[in-house]
């Protein structure tokens, strides 16, 4: 059992929890995720790691209520426990393995939309702890939906806050702030990391491609099983078929086929849609192996 040490509501339907998971905390890196399960019969829920403390042996997760399982999960309090808390899973962010001196010469921009602020935070924090300041754009629909502003402010070189309705910070989408920083303020970036809703990542990548800024995205939003067995997170990255959970979750955003991924995301929610995907994709559908019998 994995004890919940803290549980709080960050915004409407968005919750943060600190969980006691020493083994995961010892080995995790920014960009990776965990799978949580409330009880023996509960749904497996993949969640990107928001923060970790190796000394205390804790992992911080942030999630949004999107269905019955996350609604039930939001009812858990400090002192309750998860049945399973599996991780770290997925590949760490690319820069974790880069030469540190070379990394210090890079100008990095992070763009976080909505709950995407949670997986962006540990990456920016990791860089800050190594003397590297990155610019960060955080966007939300309204001021009341904004999360982790103070935490992000403490680790970002420059923090730019956007709200779609103009209730706080810059009025407009995160893409308009990217354009403003580059075209109006003359900032130059070597790489952009964009994490958030699929549609936000798509249009951020269209913008950065036009601006000539290499961009990394996290495809965590399309993961279901988190082990490559369900096939839900199958996507095309350039000419290659990838699975977000085992090959990612981060990929070159300029090569991701977002339209295909978003269409697939909608289809996978229904049994009829899943059956159609099995028919269309054959042996490549189920984790890419076609031999495990998981569709039977």
Confidence of residue 179 (pLDDT cuts 50, 70, 90): very high
Round to whole Å and give the CA distance between 200 and 31.
18
Round to whole Å and give the CA distance between 111 and 123.
12
Round to whole Å and give the CA distance between 133 and 130.
9
Boundaries of CATH 3.40.50.80 in the chain? 94-218
User: Mean per-residue pLDDT for 85-92?
Assistant: 94
CA 135 to chain centre: 18
Round to whole Å and give the CA distance between 23 and 225.
21
- Was 230 annotated as part of a binding site? yes
Whether domain 94-218 has CATH 3.40.50.80:
yes
User: Mean per-residue pLDDT for 115-125?
Assistant: 97
- Was 205 annotated as part of a binding site? no
- Was 245 annotated as part of a binding site? yes
> In the predicted model, is pLDDT for residue 284 greater than 80?
no
* Whole-number pLDDT of residue 42: 81
What the block records as the tokens of 257 is 């086929």
Confidence of residue 283 (pLDDT cuts 50, 70, 90): low
Confidence of residue 280 (pLDDT cuts 50, 70, 90): low
* Whole-number pLDDT of residue 242: 92
Give the pairing type, strands 135-140 and 108-113: parallel
* Whole-number pLDDT of residue 282: 66
Burial of 41 (0-12, 13-18, 19+ CB in 10 A): exposed
Question: Side-chain half-sphere of 234: how many Cα atoms within 13 Å?
Answer: 21
User: Mean per-residue pLDDT for 229-236?
Assistant: 80
Q: Please tell me the least confidently modeled range out of 99-108, 166-175, 187-196, 255-264.
A: 255-264
Cα dist from 55 to 24, 28, 47, 262, whole Å = 12, 13, 22, 39
* Whole-number pLDDT of residue 206: 97
Question: Side-chain half-sphere of 175: how many Cα atoms within 13 Å?
Answer: 15
The 10s digit of each residue's pLDDT in 25-54 is 999 999 999 999 998 888 889 999 999 999
- Was 292 annotated as part of a binding site? no
- Was 15 annotated as part of a binding site? no
Length of the chain equals 296
Three-state DSSP class for residue 68:
helix
CB of 190 closer than 8 Å to CB of 94: no
Round to whole Å and give the CA distance between 162 and 249.
25
Cα Rg of the chain, angstroms: 19
Boundaries of CATH 2.40.30.10 in the chain? 2-89
- Was 155 annotated as part of a binding site? no
As its CATH architecture, domain 2-89 has: Beta Barrel (2.40)
CB of 55 closer than 8 Å to CB of 121: no
Confidence of residue 203 (pLDDT cuts 50, 70, 90): very high
Total-model pTM: 0.88
């Amino acid at each position: 059992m994995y004890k919940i040490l803290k549980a709080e509501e960050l915004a409407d339907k968005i919750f943060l929890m600190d969980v006691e998971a020493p083994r995961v905390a010892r080995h995790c890196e920014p960009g990776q995720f965990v799978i949580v399960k409330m009880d023996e019969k509960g749904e497996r829920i993949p969640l990107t790691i928001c923060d970790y403390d190796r000394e205390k042996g804790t992992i911080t997760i942030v999630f949004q209520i999107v269905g019955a399982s996350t609604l039930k999960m939001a009812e858990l309090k400090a002192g309750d426990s998860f049945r399973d808390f599996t991780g770290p899973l997925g590949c760490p962010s690319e820069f974790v393995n880069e030469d540190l001196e070379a990394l210090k010469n890079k100008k990095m921009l992070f763009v976080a939309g909505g709950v995407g602020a949670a997986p962006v935070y540990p990456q920016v924090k990791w860089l800050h702890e190594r003397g590297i300041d990155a610019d960060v754009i955080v966007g939300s629909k309204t001021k009341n939906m904004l999360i982790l502003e103070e935490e992000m402010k403490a680790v970002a070189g420059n923090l730019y806050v956007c709200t779609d309705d103009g209730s706080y910070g810059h009025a407009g989408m995160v893409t308009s702030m990217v354009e403003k920083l580059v075209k109006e303020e003359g900032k130059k970036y070597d790489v952009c990391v964009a994490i958030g809703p699929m549609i936000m990542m798509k249009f951020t990548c269209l913008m950065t491609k036009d601006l000539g800024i290499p961009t990394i995205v996290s495809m965590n939003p399309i993961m279901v099983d988190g082990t490559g067995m369900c096939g839900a997170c199958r996507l095309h990255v350039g000419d290659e078929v990838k699975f977000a959970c085992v090959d990612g979750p981060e990929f070159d955003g300029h090569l991701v086929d977002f339209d295909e991924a978003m269409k697939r995301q909608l289809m996978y929610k229904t049994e009829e849609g899943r059956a159609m995907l099995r028919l269309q994709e054959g042996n490549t559908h189920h984790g890419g192996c076609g031999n495990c019998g998981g569709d039977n």
